[in-house]
Amino acid sequence: MRGENVTVIAVVFGLFLLLALTTPFCSGANVTYDHRALIIDGKRRLLISGSIHYMRSTPEMWPDLIQKSKDGGLDVIQTFFFWNLHEPVRGQYDFEGRKDLVKFMKLVAEAGLYVHLRIGPYACAEWNYGGFPLWLHFIPGIVLRTDNEPFKAEMKRITTKIVDMMKQENLYASQGGPIILSQIENEYGNVESAYGDSAISYIHWSAQMATSLDTGVPWIMCQQTDAPDPIINTCNGFYCDQFTPNSNNKPKMWTENWTGWFSSFGDPVSYRPVEDIAFSVARFYQLGGTFQNYYMYHGGTNFGRTSGGPFITTSYDYDAPIDEYGLLRQPKWGHLKDVHNAIKLCEEAIVATDPNTTSLGSNLEATVYKTESGRLCAAFLANIGTESDVSVNFNGNSYHLPAWSVSILPDCKNVVLNTAKINSVATISKFIHQTPKDDDDGFLSGWSWIEEPVGISSKSAFTKLGLLEQINTTADQSDYMWYSLSTQTKGDETQTVVLHVDSLGHTLHAFINGELAGSGKGSHDNPKLSIDVNISLVAGKNNIDLLSLTVGLQNYGAYYDTVGAGVTGPVQLKGLQNGSNVDLSSQQWTYQIGLRGEELDLFDGSSSLWISQPNLLKNQSGSSPVALDFTGMGKGEAWVNGQSIGRYWPTNTASSSSGCTKDSCNYRGSYSPSKCQTNCGKPSQKLYHVPRSWLQASDNVLVLFEEIGGDPTQLSFATRETGSICSQIYESHPIPVAMWTTTETRNETGPTLLLDCPLQNQVISEIKYASFGTPLGKCGSFSHGSCSSEKALSIVQKACVGLGSCSIEVSVNTFGDPCEGITKSLAVEAFCTGPNLGKQPIIGEVK
């Protein structure tokens, strides 16, 4: 049935290819696998998956994110289960609001997509404490993630609970639901050796425990070369083409292909060029892969105190194809969509046979998937060299292969896509700051303040001899813990001494007699800190108050759960007048967990406390995503109408010498997070997402806890809008995927540039730039090159202005030839206007 008919449908309705192939979940089917692929409904499937973590957005955003994933060509949504979010207190469960896992699964099912549920229950994911509830740490005799009875009992209990919950809702594919795949543990192979022999028995126990839950769908373990049968071991990484599973009966699966990288406060922001991701994806399917997942497809936001780390930023944007705010990141989303369409055209051939890869020369590889009858044939041609573009001969034809690229030939003859040539429309999304008017009293004034006292203020403070490790003490009920003591100084005059403090991290403020004397901070790579500050001690009694802070608990590494935080010492006074040093570490300290404001629940804004502003977001009746710009503030946490939008820290800037590549980064060659970076010398994050659904039409209350100091009148809010749309199409471009049919029917006229406004009643109002020739620059900053047709602008204006969409053939037939013998391109930047511009990004497509 899935023969030529389906191919024709795919041609006519490019977008609906998936619909045609995805059976609705009416009847159940156990999912199995063989050495080539997952088998659903008796058919091997080539699947493309993307991660969306449900609690990193809001339920109001979910349907749109899922739809954009589907439009982008995904078959599967992958998510972790985050244990600490759902069971904050042992035995007390919470599945409401952003934590409504079942609702999320059902929305994915409604969209006709599958789910890969990674139960873990260890998640990592730059999530606080890797997803484990902190109370696990306090179970007597427990050792996490190894063959330890108390831990295994808890892991089995929660895994069973989640599986049962999914079964109750009929969410497994075997029950007619969307879940086709599950996961137990996570990247354990990376740390396994540190746990000795118990690691091996633990992995066997995990596999057996998971399998016994009888879900009817396969379980995987990622980064686990010794995963026992029938668990499939899968690969995570920037490239997985060289990966092979540990058995000939298992398919080659890639569960985390990092689309970018997370950010940490104090570090630059990484990005990953789309040409390189496209290359890695095409290479994976070229070399026999049949399932790959984008980590992340939508990264989202670490609201509240959910970010891990330490020092992971509140934004978890990840340079993903859908940005933190839910807008398409172009051309990343669009180019990957084209890659997916191209790969899908090869699906039948890929799942029908094994790949046959041959060398076409140095760094050149051809892979052919050809059935014995010869009816199906798909080919991938790769240039994995990083320097030179080359021409290769394949099956008697010549093909141009740019460096670090793959060409996809669904019929072994015609190239429908080369990973380095972007056909997709680019859009510029930007933040538009809402400037307050002078007479807008709500914006510039109206702040109420309450000062947080220095040192101990709570009745529940307690004393202990010696210095306490912070996480053991706070159980992560707060980022903050006070360490206070009084010391008597002999003599009768003020003396200057050095206060030395060693801390496991993550940041520290030291106060002497109520005055801030010094601060210190660690970083993601080295959370520990140590300070030596000159202080003045008065004769007699002196108060030393140390405020120690965590900035997200560690989430990765062997025994990461026991690394600890806080002032574990020594704490010393050095160079006293009488010539001696005093070690205060083992003295009697008074401890307070959390701040007075937290104890009083000031963050809900019901009383005029901390810094609150009832009118800041006075009129928010639009529909574009909203961000708060924290320029002017120091560090703290912010709440909008009682909901925490996360930790903010705009004063933590990335070093200006940390190797930023500005806008351009050579995508050729192996990627690593430090290869392509922005924000050097700038805040790691200054804009913070405020979900629309948390805002009211009026009377919005913003509460800040500001720990360093700042000027709240500089705060502003901004909306994330889609600006202009751009497209650049080359004459010599491969025949775009959307145009490709079969060799018999394809249109031979060459590439067409298509501009399309996102909403029905929008029109293209202005062509900002158009050039046919050798234009320079990129979207937003195109300029004319040495060759440019003078007629281009007026031709494009005539064809497009006033219309909702337009298409133009990119050839000398349309524009004349401004420079014979040179490969030319058409570059266009345009604006759409109409109601609600910015609600949706402009989706353009080359037809």
Contact residues for ligand NAG (CB under 6 A)?
28-30, 174, 214, 216, 237-240, 242-243, 356, 358, 469, 472, 489-490, 534, 562, 564, 576, 578, 580, 582, 619, 621-622, 747, 749, 752, 809
How far apart are CB 14 and ligand NAG at their closest, in Å? 13
Nearer to ligand NAG, 55 or 377 (CB): 377
Comparison of 409 and 779: residue with beta carbon closer to ligand NAG: 409
Beginning with the edge strand found earlier in the chain, give each strand of the sheet holding 571-574 in spatial order: 529-537, 495-503, 571-574, 582-583
Q: What is the Cα–Cα distance from 174 to 818, expressed in whole angstroms?
A: 61
Residues 6+ apart with CB under 8 A from 681: 653, 654, 655, 656
Pairwise CA distance, residues 710 & 423, whole Å: 46
Q: What is the smallest separation between the CB atom of 646 and ligand NAG, expressed in angstroms?
A: 26
Are residues 805 and 722 in contact, defined by beta-carbon separation less than 8 angstroms? no
With beta carbons less than 8 A apart as the criterion, state whether 272 and 676 touch: yes
The minimum distance between CB 42 and ligand NAG, in angstroms, equals 11
For ligand NAG, give the closer residue by CB, 159 or 314: 159
CA 789 to chain centre: 42
CA–CA dist 324, 317 (Å, integer): 5
Which CB sits closer to ligand NAG, 405 or 685?
A: 405
Q: How far is the CB of 697 from ligand NAG (least distance, A)?
A: 8
Q: Which C-beta is closer to ligand NAG: that of 189 or that of 650?
A: 189
Whole-angstrom Cα distance, residue 117 to residue 328? 24
Give me the least distance between CB of 354 and ligand NAG, in Å please. Answer: 8
Burial class (CB in 10 A: 0-12, 13-18, 19+), 599: middle
CA atoms within 13 A on the CB side of 765: 10
Minimum distance between the CB of residue 243 and ligand NAG, rounded to whole angstroms?
6
The string of DSSP codes covering 112-159 is T-EEEEEEES---TTBGGGG--GGGGGSTT--TTSS-HHHHHHHHHHH
* Shortest distance, position 582 Cβ to ligand NAG, whole Å: 5
We find the least distance from the C-beta atom of residue 289 to ligand NAG, in angstroms, to be 11
Instruction: Identify the CA nearest to 11 among candidates 838, 657, 741.
Output: 741
Nearer to ligand NAG, 276 or 323 (CB): 276
Residue nearer to ligand NAG on the CB measure, 269 or 735: 735
* Nearest distance, CB of residue 748 and ligand NAG, angstroms: 8
Q: Is 256 a catalytic residue?
A: yes
Max Cα-Cα span within the chain: 100
Sign of the Cα pseudo-torsion (426, 427, 428, 430, in order): negative
DSSP 250-295: S--EEEEEESS---BTTSPEE---HHHHHHHHHHHHHTT--EEEEE
Q: Give me the amino acid identity at 800.
A: C
* Helix H or strand E segment including 792: helix 792-800
Residue 91 or 579: the one with the smaller Cβ distance to ligand NAG is 579
Tell me how far, at minimum, the Cβ of 62 lies from ligand NAG, in Å. 26
Q: CA 305: distance to chain centroid?
A: 17
Half-sphere exposure of 405 (CA within 13 A, CB side): 25
Q: Quick one: tokens of 525?
A: 């790579």
Residue 237 vs 453, nearer CB to ligand NAG: 237
Active-site residue (options: 185, 256, 324, 721): 256
Strands of the sheet containing 43-45, edge to edge, are 32-33, 38-40, 43-45
The residue with its CB nearest to ligand NAG is: 237
Q: 54 and 202 in contact (C-beta within 8 Å)?
A: no
Exactly one of 154, 187, 706, 721 is catalytic; which is it? Answer: 187
In the complex with ligand NAG, which residue's Cβ is closer, 472 or 678? Answer: 472
* Burial readout 73-94 (b: 16 or more C-beta within 10 A, e: otherwise): bbbbbbbbbbbbbbbeeeeeee
Q: Which spans in 387-467 are helix H? A: 441-444
- Shorter beta-carbon distance to ligand NAG: residue 239 or 297: 239
Residue 645 and residue 688 in contact, taking contact as beta carbons nearer than 8 Å: yes
Of 110 and 214, which has the nearer Cβ to ligand NAG?
214
Tokens 């106060």 belong to which residue? 511
Least distance in angstroms from the C-beta of 562 to ligand NAG: 6
> Nearest to residue 122, comparing CAs of 46, 224, 244?
224
Which of 98, 252 has the CB closer to ligand NAG? 252
Has 187 been annotated as catalytic? yes
3-state secondary structure of 203: helix
Cβ(577)–Cβ(495) under 8 Å?
yes
For the bound state, the minimum distance from the C-beta of residue 597 to ligand NAG, rounded and expressed in Å, comes to 27
Q: Among 799, 808, 737, which Cα is nearest to 772's?
A: 808
Shortest distance (Å) from residue 340 CB to ligand NAG = 21
Asked if residue 369 lies in contact with residue 355, where contact means CB atoms within 8 angstroms, the answer is yes
What CA–CA distance (Å, rounded) separates 529 from 502?
6
Per-residue tokens: 439:
């007479």
Which of 226, 212, 83, 79 lies closest to 151 in space, CA to CA?
83
Cα end-to-end distance, the chain, whole Å: 27
Annotated active-site positions, please?
A: 187, 256
